[in-house]
Amino acid sequence: MDDTPRGLDLGRLIEQVDQGGDLHQVRQDFTRFMMRYRFGMDEVVTKLSILRDEYAHLHEENPIENISSRLKRPESIVEKMSRKGTEPSFASIEKTITDIAGVRVTCSFVSDVRQVFDQLCGQADVTVVDVRDYIENPKPNGYRSLHALVEVPVFLTDGPAPVLVEVQMRTIAMDFWASTEHKIFYKYRDAVPQSLLDGLKEAAGTAAVLDARMEELHTKMRTASVLPREIEDELRCDEALVPDETFLRRLHQMGDV
């Protein structure tokens, strides 16, 4: 079933512009199309923010370090349409370009990534369309991340509309590597020297080792035998009850000793 609103045909809109049609209407129709993705993106961000805030206030550990989002620029959509051979219609764009709305979640540990993924995708109104686990199976260049393509409902004035949102979940080390790789490819316009490519691949391995080591330390910390928080608070109170020399001298000066 095609859920694309009637009249949202990019080919028709382009033809209208070429024939001197109403440019305002063209912009309005494209804005309506993009707004659905922004609303879907905001919906996913809200779900993740609720999880993060609950962990922050009611649990000892918070698996979510950062949440960011981005909406693909119209110019980037057109460029990708050209590369993928996408037909000039909104229905075709919806089917072939699945990363128009993107959300990124950064966690401290790989286990946190898995935990957040399960909690987001386990919600009743979230439909998992596709999962690509580049943590378990990294890309040849060393890229590691967990990608989930999810569908969420957006409730508009004319009824609910399903929207695809790409969610990327990764550790801080993975995010640092991906950010550096992006900057390098942007600077060299994809013509990256082989020495830098080799260095990136080596750095990806180093980041993976770091993630594994930090996960090991995290596991040991969680299973370590420590004093309950209430007992620690009592010990701090006991220490506060022991007067220091300054306190005793002030009492003596006041004539109480």
> What is the separation of C-alpha 156 from the centre of its chain, rounded to a whole number of angstroms?
25
User: Which residues are tagged catalytic?
Assistant: 166
The alpha carbon dihedral of 113, 100, 97, 141 has a sign of negative
Residue 251: its pLDDT value, please? Answer: 73
Residue 10: its pLDDT value, please? Answer: 55
- Domain residue limits, the chain: 10-226, 228-257
Residue 70: its pLDDT value, please? Answer: 96
Backbone angles phi, psi at 156, to 5 degrees: -110, 180
Residues 214-246: tens digit of each pLDDT: 999 999 888 876 555 554 555 455 555 556 677
Q: What pTM value is reported for the model?
A: 0.78
Residues 82-123: tens digit of each pLDDT: 889 888 888 889 999 999 999 999 999 999 999 999 999 999
Strands 127-133 and 64-71 come out as unpaired
What single letter denotes the amino acid at residue 164?
A: L
Residue 240: its pLDDT value, please? Answer: 58
Residue 29: its pLDDT value, please? Answer: 81
What single letter denotes the amino acid at residue 208?
A: A
Rounded to the nearest 5 degrees, what angle is found at the Cα of 161, between the Cα atoms of 155 and 164? 115
CATH architecture of 10-226: 2-Layer Sandwich (3.30)
